[in-house]
Amino acid sequence: MENILKEIANGHGILIHDMVIGPDHVHLFVSIPMEMSVSKALQLLKGGSSYCIFKKYWRFRIRYPNGHFWSPGHFSRSISNVTSAAIKGYIEKHDFAKLNETIESVDDEVRQLKLCEF
């Protein structure tokens, strides 16, 4: 996945400063060209890598029959108000177990906040 993302990024003028690949998600610290929107960069990286993965490992079609390798969500943030060193440090020291724990608690919170249950 790392090589695929690097190849796509290089082909579209996206500079990858740092990358961490976990078992179920990816963190990228990138610079995109001024004329490129964040949504376009995501489309290129997620769509392009999905296409390459399905092409290279055709059996993934069995596991992902709808053709969706990546989940539809994402998180992006401009780093204009923090240093690039702070972002790089966050990505490098990211605790995937803690993130999964946080994701599970957010799922529980959403279930707790359903208005129809009142």
Q: Where are the domains of the chain?
A: 2-117
- Residue written as token pair 């990286």: 45
Residue 68 contacts residue 49 (beta carbons within 8 Å): no
Q: What Rg value do the Cα atoms of the chain yield, rounded?
A: 17
pTM above 0.85, yes or no: no
**Distance in angstroms (rounded) separating the CA atoms of residues 42 and 50:** 12
pLDDT value for 88: 67
Q: What is the pLDDT of residues 28-79, one digit of tens each?
A: 888 899 899 999 999 999 999 988 988 888 888 888 877 788 887 777 777 6
Q: Of residues 85 and 118, which shows the higher confidence score?
A: 85
**Distance in angstroms (rounded) separating the CA atoms of residues 56 and 28:** 22
Q: Which CATH class is domain 2-117?
A: alpha beta
pLDDT at 9 over 70: yes
